[in-house]
Each structure stands twice: as structure tokens, then as C-alpha cells.
Amino acid sequence: MSRIGSYPIEIPQKVEVTFTGQTITVKGPMGELNQEVAPGITVEVGEKELVINRGDDSKQLRAYHGLYRALVKNMVEGVSNGHTIELELVGVGYKANANGQILELGLGFSHNIYMQLPPDVKLEAKTERGKNPSIKLVSADKQLVGQVAAKIRSMRKPEPYKGKGVLFKGEVIRRKAGKTAAE
């Protein structure tokens, strides 16, 4: 029996959940999200909570049971509070500027990198004197904000010798010792 899938999901006051056909729709202050559900998975929407059930105990449906419960929980949390990911640019001369939905990154290459972000992701870039530049991404869709953050991080992954690169806020890089002088 799936332990994750059997837990009910609390629905906040501002959030509205509907299940029609095989589609779950969640509406809230941060936006609206939809999720297709596999056949055999049903959703019971109550006043203040939501329960996901499966038709039988086949291996595939047991796997889907926990998966869809986690996806719907993230949807409910996303439309009520939003999901936030913060990135930090570590390196001399690294910079980030936000111009609407266009992110301009200066990561030590001969040219700046311009990224067009999806309209569902809110972007904020800060540069304070004496601190590393930071990028804050906020969206109702957890998968989308994670994918955008991973794409930004892939532009200059942190390296283990000097620790330079684009890091998630609070990420710790295992440092390696460099070459020693030959004697």
C-alpha cells in the first residue's frame, strides 16, 4: 500500500479544486494549473480536503498513486503560496540583470547570455555591494520553476577548485585541493 498516496491533501480557503474526466484543475491566487491523471486513478474532492484513490493494487497503479498525490499537493501549494528558487552567482565580475522576462547573465564569457523566461515565472535579480549577485524565481508550477533554475545553473556549473559558478542558495560545493608545486 502506498503510504504517500493515502494521505489526504488539505485545500486552503482561497484554492478551488475540480476533477472532470481524467483532469485535475487547481485554481488559486497565484494562477491555475492542470494535470492529466492516468486511468484507474480517481480523485474525491471534499470541502476542505482531497483524497486520491486507485482502482486496484497493480504495480503501475501503486506507483501512480503516490506520484499523483505528490503532483497535486505541489499544485495546491503552488497556486496558494508559489514555489521559490534562489540562485547565487559566485565569481569575480559575474552579474545578473532582469529586464522584464529577459535575464541577462555575465558569467565570464566573452559575451553576455540572454535568456527569455516563460511568462509564468516571475524574475527578480539583485546585486548588492559586497555580496554575490542573486536571482529569485517564483512560479505556481514547481516543475517549470525547477527546470528554468536548472537551465540557468547549466550556463556555468560550479567547479570544485575555486567554487565559482551558478549555485542554488545554500548549496555547498565539495572543494578539491589543486596541484602542489613540484619539488
In contact, 5 and 69? CB cutoff 8 Å: yes
In contact, 61 and 40? CB cutoff 8 Å: yes
65 and 103 co-located in one domain: no
The DSSP H or E segment spanning 126 is strand 122-126
> How many whole angstroms separate alpha carbon 153 and alpha carbon 117?
14
Residue 128 has a CB neighbour count (10 Å cut-off) of: 8
- Which residue, 48, 53, 16, is CA-closest to 38? 53
In contact, 50 and 73? CB cutoff 8 Å: no
In contact, 15 and 80? CB cutoff 8 Å: yes
User: What's 30's domain CATH number?
Assistant: 3.90.930.12
70 and 88 co-located in one domain: no
99 and 145 co-located in one domain: yes
pTM above 0.75, yes or no: yes
Q: Last residue of some domain: 32, 57, 80?
A: 80
Whether residue 182 is predicted with pLDDT greater than 80 in this model: the reply is no
Residue 96 banded pLDDT, cuts 50, 70, 90: very high
Amino acid at 135: I
pLDDT in tens, 9-66: 999 999 999 998 889 999 999 999 999 999 998 899 888 999 999 888 889 998 899 9
The range of the structural domain enclosing residue 91 comes to 83-168
What total of structural domains would you count in the chain? 2
